[in-house]
Structure 1
Amino acid sequence: MAATPPPSTGTALPASARRGYGLGSVATGSFGTVPGLLLLPYLTDRLGVGAGLAGLVVFLPKAWDVLLNPVAGRVSDRSEHPAGRRRPFLLRAGLALAVAFVLLFSGPTSPTGLATAWVVVLFLACATAYAFFQVPYVAMPAEMTDDYDERTRLMTWRVAVLALAILVSGGLSPAVRDALGPTWGYRGVGLFVGVLIVVGTVGAWWGTRRAPMSRAATAGGSLRDQLRVVAASADFRTLLAVFVLQALATGTMLAGVDYVARVLLGRPGASTILFVCFVGPALLVTPLWQRVGERYGKRTGYVWGSVLLGVGALATLLATRAGAGATAVTVGVVGVGYAACQMFPLAMLPDVAAADTARTGEDRAGTYTGVWTAGETLGLALGPFVYAGVLALGGYVSSTDAAAAQPDSARTAIALGFTVLPALLVGASLVVLRRYRLDPEVHR
């Protein structure tokens, strides 16, 4: 029998709780965006690291998060802190993340071996702190409300703030780098993003201090036992597979923005324009996607957004040949779909966790979100890694001179990795999404 959502109480969260929770996305959006956008170019075009090795450097610390996130979820599930299971982790881990991020781009630039080792160690520290911020943060909605539509409204706030944070951090970071020059540019980026992370951390911690939080009994058993229970949820497996595939798709596009702007369009400053077109639409269309979800169901809205994301990516392949203006338009279409592909799965995840709590009487929200963020981290980490592999296959020339000439094969690799590959991944995710059943629209 297909699962059905838990009953709703109809109790709305106070607006202050929605705003406070949404502020946490300033931290998650900034850290989730800037390394994927600039860390690979930093390695290949500032430190002179080969594309293949650079991709590995970006991937391995994030792969550590894949193992750590379920542990972080279980730790927060078992927390008995008087301020709540989740909130205390936000402040401690968020501030640690900010410090580590500032140091990430402040290391030596030569010799290459030492500079690379610095990036690995500091990015590993960032990934560890991020796990203990992100997992409790994502677990909170399942405990803040049991209302199906209220979770969508809560995610609307989160995604709107997330879009703004991504827009500011990803849009301004390349400008900060270019304005400060090769010596201080990346260090300025580290400090800029570190400040954003502090703002998001303190905002979420303080803003949710009066938010209602349920305290269902902590699920018993070992972490392995709980992971086995989570893995048994067909709807969770489906939703996670879809989200990981799409995180991989957006991760490859994000990694390619700087290369498309510099090499294909011949306009380094266009990286900011393309990034704004990718993220900016979410500020306008997220409330519209909320209405789609309330009227037609979250899964239906998710499907529509995914189609736009994939079609926009394919159209960009042709647009890059027409120039920066056409490319900006098609990337804007991608951005409209991207907004839906952020909001709907994040609104569906608490439904899955709350359905499990309603069925068993035990709280596994942290374990669910730990596995979820592990999958998201894996997808976003694989994005730059896969894109770097495509560059390596295309013969991309790494150099400390960002203006180094590239062969035609490298230009083709840059284009295909930014367009066709993400479209294929989104197409595969749509096939998987057909199996999701925890949505009222499915039963109408």
Structure 2
Amino acid sequence: MHAGYALGSLATGAFGTVPGLLLLPYLTDTLGVAAGVAALLVLLPKAWDVLVNPVAGRISDRTRSRWGARRPYLLVAGLALAVLFGSIFAAPFGAGPAAGAYVAIAFLATATAFAFFQVPYVAMPAELTDDYADRTRMMTWRIAVLALAILVAGAVAPLVRDAAGGGVPGHRWMGVFVAALIAVGAVGAFLGTRSAPQGSVGESEPSLRAQLAVAGRNRPFRALLLCFVVQSAGVATILAGVQYFADQILRDPTTGPTLLFLCFVGPALVVMPLWSRVGARLGKLAALVAASLILTAGGLALVTAPVLPAVVVYLLVAVLGVGYAGQQVFALAMLPDCIAYDTARTGRRQAGVFTGLWTAGETFGLALGPGIFGLVLALTGYVSSTTGAAAVQSDTARLGVLLGFTILPALLIGLATTLLRPYNLTPTPTPTPSTSGTSGADHGVVAGTKAAENHGKGTTTP
């Protein structure tokens, strides 16, 4: 079941990586769109998902089918996502303003399909298992496949583009390659969860306002969501800068992006079991903070890249990859705990509500990254091109690329850990009858399936 569910991360990883990695340079260096305008074209369609994701969560909560509430969306929305993704890079209008407008519309449609795939997909773990530790194991599988998807999509997609001649034709073939990867992930997750328990899906809130009210009363979820949104923006800023960093800092536009991705994602495949052990020893919250600080330290050190040998730069990027692996696995493992806590506290199971808001926030953060990086490029005078290769840039523009890839995301990721202070969910034995009603604190104890309410305190058996 774990491996079957994890296959869906091929789709989420490919869509989450490739637009953030290649769409902004595609607009600025192939279609000739100004950096500031390109930043808006990348930001606005994905920001639209802030509204669409909660709707997708509410609809999936209400779905009843012989395949369960979530699985139909894995297949239908997943295949639609694949087709629409390929259309983003079809470039029927060549270069110029019309081409930029087309990309924005196609990206908007693709982001909508992604919402209807991702929200049900992220909601499933809270319904597949009620065990606190098993959620970490499930997320470990998912993040391992996610890392593989990022590795394949992020490292191979630029190679496919270049092998097909670069420019518009190269991007078209790259779009086809990534679309196929998304389709494999969607179909694989649908088939891989066919025998898994679907759990129960409760009645969802009738409106976005009601959903926000439900989430607002879940203090651990609020803290985790805010932290993850800011950190997603930081990670997305790094992704958006890979091609520019390879071009302007490493001076290696051909192999640089692929090597950066190998160094960023490759370590994640190795250290994932180690992070699982760290989480078991320290707890998910402490492990998430530790991973975030590793990410931050690596980003700050990378600002010295212009005076470092290339091999040292790649080693520092590998440090980023180690932190990124832990940051992802523990944040995603803590989300089902927040959902289980709410079920214990309220007696209602509304995974779609929380995952809809979660994916909306994550999508917004991932959209902010390229927008932030594009704004930095615009402010530092980056020059666009229609040749398929970066134009010669000023020292100021190159400084903007460096700071946007290192210092800025490091600060976002590190400072976001302070938002986790209200998070207090831990696996704790169920209190005895003599003590279970003595506290009214908003402290969730999440580890199993049994729910109880004592003055607002939800507990579950370990």
TM-score by length of structure 2 reads 0.90
**Alignment size in residue pairs:** 428
Q: Distance in 2 between matches of 1:320 and 1:373?
A: 36
Q: Which has the higher helix share?
A: 1
How big is the shift at 1:58?
0.4
- Which of 51, 65, 81 is matched with 1:97 structurally? 81
Aligned equivalent of 2:7 = 23
Equivalent residues of 1:243, 1:376 under 8 A apart:
yes
Equivalent residues of 1:77, 1:363 under 8 A apart:
no
Aligned equivalent of 2:227 = 242
- The question of 1:200 aligning with 2:178 is answered no
Which has the higher mean CA deviation after the structures are superposed, 272-281 or 425-434?
425-434
Equivalent residues of 1:51, 1:398 under 8 A apart:
yes
- The question of 1:80 aligning with 2:64 is answered yes
Give the alignment of 1:399-410 within 5 angstroms. 399-401=385-387, 402-410=389-397
Partner SS for 1:47: coil
How big is the shift at 1:434?
2.7
Q: Which amino acid aligns with 2:426?
A: D
Q: Which amino acid aligns with 1:173?
A: A
| CA-to-aligned-CA distance 1:167-186 (integer Å, 9 cap, x gap) | 00000011111111124210
Aligned equivalent of 2:148 = 164
Aligned equivalent of 2:356 = 370
Q: Distance in 2 between matches of 1:358 and 1:124?
A: 37
Q: Distance in 2 between matches of 1:367 and 1:217?
A: 10
Unaligned runs of 5+ in 2: 429-442, 446-462
Q: Distance in 2 between matches of 1:307 and 1:161?
A: 23
- Which of 339, 342, 361 is matched with 1:353 structurally? 339
Go from structure 1 to structure 2 and tell me whether the alpha carbon gap of 1:400 and 1:340 turns closer, same or farther (over 3 Å shift): same
CA RMSD of aligned residues (A): 1.5
How big is the shift at 1:296?
1.5
- The question of 1:256 aligning with 2:266 is answered no
How big is the shift at 1:403?
3.8
Q: Distance in 2 between matches of 1:286 and 1:123?
A: 32
Q: Which amino acid aligns with 1:106?
A: A
Q: Distance in 2 between matches of 1:403 and 1:253?
A: 18
Go from structure 1 to structure 2 and tell me whether the alpha carbon gap of 1:314 and 1:109 turns closer, same or farther (over 3 Å shift): farther
Q: Which amino acid aligns with 1:37?
A: L
Q: Distance in 1 between matches of 2:371 and 2:207?
A: 33
How big is the shift at 1:111?
4.7
Q: Which amino acid aligns with 1:192?
A: F
How big is the shift at 1:277?
0.9
Go from structure 1 to structure 2 and tell me whether the alpha carbon gap of 1:328 and 1:203 turns closer, same or farther (over 3 Å shift): same
- The question of 1:439 aligning with 2:423 is answered no
Equivalent residues of 2:260, 2:314 under 8 A apart:
yes
| CA-to-aligned-CA distance 1:88-133 (integer Å, 9 cap, x gap) | 0110100000000111111235351221121011101100000000
How big is the shift at 1:220?
4.9
- The question of 1:217 aligning with 2:202 is answered yes
Q: Which amino acid aligns with 1:250?
A: V
How big is the shift at 1:362?
1.2
Go from structure 1 to structure 2 and tell me whether the alpha carbon gap of 1:86 and 1:317 turns closer, same or farther (over 3 Å shift): same
Aligned equivalent of 2:406 = 419
Aligned equivalent of 2:460 = none
Give the alignment of 1:21-420 within 5 angstroms. 21-181=5-165, 182-268=167-253, 269-401=255-387, 402-420=389-407
| CA-to-aligned-CA distance 1:233-263 (integer Å, 9 cap, x gap) | 1101100011011101001000000001011
Partner SS for 1:162: helix
Q: Distance in 2 between matches of 1:306 and 1:125?
A: 33
Go from structure 1 to structure 2 and tell me whether the alpha carbon gap of 1:38 and 1:220 turns closer, same or farther (over 3 Å shift): closer
Equivalent residues of 2:57, 2:356 under 8 A apart:
yes
| CA-to-aligned-CA distance 1:241-289 (integer Å, 9 cap, x gap) | 1101110100100000000101111101211101111111110111111
Go from structure 1 to structure 2 and tell me whether the alpha carbon gap of 1:117 and 1:107 turns closer, same or farther (over 3 Å shift): same
TM-score by length of structure 1 reads 0.94
